[in-house]
Amino acid sequence: MADKEPQQPEELPIVLVHRLPSYKIPLDPSFRDQLRSQFHMLDPHESPEPYDSFLARHAPFIRVLMTIGHSPISAEFLERLPVLELVVATSAGLNHIDLPACWSRGIVVTNVSLAFAEDVADCAVGLLIDVLRRISAADRFVRGRLWPVKENYPLGFKLGGKRVGIVGLGSIGSEVAKRLLAFGCTIAYTSRNKKQSVSFPFYANVRDLAANSDVLVLCCALTKETYHMINKDVMVALGKDGVIINVGRGSLINEKELVQCLVGGEMGGAGLDVYENEPNVPKELFGLDNVVLSPHCAVMTPESFEALDQLIVVNLKAFFSNKPLVSVVSNE
């Protein structure tokens, strides 16, 4: 029997590629080829036709959109796609997508937090251990040849037994909790809603969580509600020995007030992978040995990106096969 001929692009399921002109389809060439072999990837920026004309001509047939990076999706943009049913985000953060507008239309949104969860959690725990045990500062101490001069290096702090408050107990927060339980920490959390399947203590607001924690680990999405949710009141409630770890988004924290508290000795330390105005980092933090800085790289492993690629394909194939989607963003 002759082999079945490969499907032609016009026969493949249509997926709109939504990206800023400066963005490219990611990506590893083999993954790009995998997408194009299974789906008709419509990219307006690859067409000589004007963008608005291209989108209007194809809009009646576009049920799925894949957004690249943090290309914005507004309510106005969604109105141009009358039959859209699914937005496949290629990021964990979703502050570039108008989620209420999607949900009001019944449009399902998926992200890739499951693909990143383990590696981001590893980074969060690494930052916490580094802050408490002063590992990066100790490295500078040795390299600066201060050991023979000063002899005694300042004491660090034990991780085991710490009360850790997790802000956002989603896929990443849950992985952080799993790791820290193994170190002997106790876990509490705050989230949009109490999770019935979780036995950890729940606090309805972040200030109360901070008042009952030694450490806050920020893993939640950036929204209008979570913008600057970590302010001076929360930092003071955490206490002068308290530590904040942020692997969520920079604007979850009022950065100016964070700097003031750290410089003024009102907090014990911080481990930061994200900032309000990346790639700019407040210069006041550079000289603080109780602060560990990382250049927004918590997800940066080859394993994360391989898992991301596969999760995107799994969701696209599931949608067009009427099978359950993975990593659906909840509107609860």
Q: Is the pLDDT of residue 92 over 50?
A: yes
Rounded Cα gap, residues 1 and 135, in angstroms: 65
Residue 76 lies in a domain: yes
Global pTM reads 0.89
| Pair (85, 142) in one structural domain | no
Q: Is 296 in the active site?
A: yes
| Pair (229, 189) in one structural domain | yes
Q: Is 140 in the active site?
A: no
Angle at 56 between CA 317 and CA 39, to 5 degrees: 20
| Pair (233, 193) in one structural domain | yes
Helix then strand then coil, % of the chain, to nearest 5: 40, 15, 45
Q: Please, which residues have CB within 8 angstroms of residue 154's CB and are 6 or more apart in sequence?
A: 134
Residue 122 lies in a domain: yes
Contact at 8 Å (CB) between 261 and 240?
A: no
| Pair (257, 190) in one structural domain | yes
The residue-averaged pLDDT of 11-25 equals: 88
pLDDT value, residue 70: 86
Greatest extent of the chain over all pairs of C-alpha atoms, in Å: 81
Residue 212 lies in a domain: yes
| Pair (103, 151) in one structural domain | no
Which residue is catalytic, options 18, 249, 255, 257? 249
Residue 7 lies in a domain: no
Residue 22 lies in a domain: yes
Contact at 8 Å (CB) between 222 and 228?
A: no
Q: Is 228 in the active site?
A: no
| Pair (124, 107) in one structural domain | no
Domain CATH code at residue 45: 3.40.50.720
| Pair (38, 131) in one structural domain | no
Residue 27 or residue 241, greater confidence: 241
Tokens 């604007």 correspond to 251
Q: Is the pLDDT of residue 26 over 90?
A: no
pLDDT range class, residue 9, cuts 50, 70, 90: very low
Domain interval for residue 214: 117-293
Residue 2 lies in a domain: no
Q: How many domains does the chain have?
A: 2
| Pair (24, 98) in one structural domain | yes
CA distances from 208 to 194, 257, 301 (A): 14, 19, 35
pLDDT value, residue 332: 62
Which residue is catalytic, options 49, 79, 278, 306? 278
pLDDT value, residue 229: 98
Q: Is the pLDDT of residue 71 over 60?
A: yes
Q: Is the pLDDT of residue 165 over 60?
A: yes
pLDDT value, residue 123: 98
Residue 260 or residue 30, greater confidence: 260
Instruction: Return the number of other C-beta atoms located less than 10 Å from residue 272's C-beta.
Output: 25
| Pair (107, 121) in one structural domain | no
Residue 5 lies in a domain: no
Counting DSSP H helices and E strands in the chain, the numbers are: 12, 11
Which residue is catalytic, options 296, 303, 306, 332? 296
| Pair (228, 82) in one structural domain | no
Contact at 8 Å (CB) between 116 and 299?
A: yes
pLDDT value, residue 126: 98
Residue 92 lies in a domain: yes
| Pair (177, 65) in one structural domain | no
pLDDT value, residue 25: 63
| Pair (83, 174) in one structural domain | no
Nearest one of 176, 119, 124 to 299, comparing CA atoms: 119
- What residues does 5 pair with on adjacent strands? none
